[in-house]
Amino acid sequence: MLFIFKTFCFLFNSMVSPEIKRLKDKTGIEMLWVFILSLLKKKSSHSYLLRKQIEKEFDFLPGEVTVYVVMYKLKSRSYVSSKRDENKVVYSITKKGNTLLKEAEKILKERNKKIFG
C-alpha cells in the first residue's frame, strides 16, 4: 500500500509544471516566518509541533533544522518570546511579532489584489 501511495505521489509531482513547483516552493519555505507567526498568534507552541501544524494547515513540511533556525531569528529580533516548559521551549508571538504579521498581511493582500484583481 505504501509503495502505491509513493508511486502516486511521484507521478502526480512529475505532472506539475516547473512554474507551479517553483511557486509552491517560494510561497512555502521562503515565507516560513509568516506561517510560524500566524500559528503562534492562535496558540503558543514548541518548534516540533509548529512544524507538524505547518504541514497540516499549509500543505508543506519544512525541515526540522529550518524551523529551529527561523525560530532563533524571530526570537533574536524580538518577534517571539520563549519560556521553558519541562524539557521543551514554548514560543509565543510578541506585540512586535503581531505588528510584523499585520504588515505581512497587508503586503500579501496588496500583491494578491494586483495579480488577481
Q: What distance in Å separates the CA atoms of residue 5 and residue 49, rounded to the nearest whole number?
A: 25
Determine the pLDDT at residue 34: 97
pTM of the model: 0.83
Q: How far is CA 1 from CA 4, 10, 46, 57, in A?
A: 5, 14, 33, 25
**What mean pLDDT comes out for the span 15-21?**
83
Q: Which residue has the cell 512529475?
A: 14
Confidence class for position 2, pLDDT limits 50, 70, 90: low
What structural domains and CATH numbers belong to the chain? 2-116 (1.10.10.10)
